[in-house]
Amino acid sequence: MSTNTVEINRQRHRFDGRESVWLFGYGSLIFKADFPYLERKPASIRDWERRFWQGSHDHRGTVEAPGRVVTLIEKPGALCRGMGYLISPQVFDHLDIREKNGYLRFTTQLTFDDGQQVEGLVYIATPENTAFLGPAHERDIARQIASATGPSGPNRDYLLRLADSLRDLSAVDVHIFDIERYLNEQASD
């Protein structure tokens, strides 16, 4: 599958007659809401875990030196904490371009802190896309993040803002926090 998923996403979901749709954000969508929304509140999804396994050559790296950004990997019993946004369907015109580097829209069940559950959408970069980098040791991921910079800035800023945002949500994510620790250790060496 091509890394440019704009047209694929525009064919995946129809919003006929819908005035709003819930969207789950688990990476930069937590801390960079550069789109209009009707409502924003913490949410979780089950059976998915956040991993720095997606390459980024369009935002946090280049084709020659891709950065790493998060995607979701299926894991029964896992709980991924993030942010839910109630948006108008027109916002997907912007989001599909922002998330074009291998991310596809999927339907998911969001659970809010009060226990309310709603159906929504989430962008996931699957292993079938050409920018998918897959697993690596957290130390190696930190090294790659430390050296990558792209049009949206240094890859390290993405990691550090995500880690801080997860703390603000009282979310424990060992994978993210281990990479952050290795990145900070490398900076102090």
Active site residues: 99
Structure tokens at 185: 């250790």
What CA–CA distances, in Å, run from 125 to 37, 40, 105, 112, 113? 23, 23, 9, 23, 26
Q: Are strands 67-87 and 103-112 parallel, antiparallel or unpaired?
A: unpaired
Q: Could you tell me which residues come within 8 angstroms of residue 185 by beta carbon, excluding any fewer than 6 positions away?
A: none
* CA separation, residue 129 to residues 3, 26, 58, 121, 126 (Å): 6, 19, 14, 19, 6
Q: How many CA atoms lie within 13 A of 85 on its CB side?
A: 23
Going by C-alpha positions, the residue among 166, 163, 175 that lies closest to residue 139 is 175
Query: Can you read off the two tokens belonging to residue 75?
Result: 């894991």
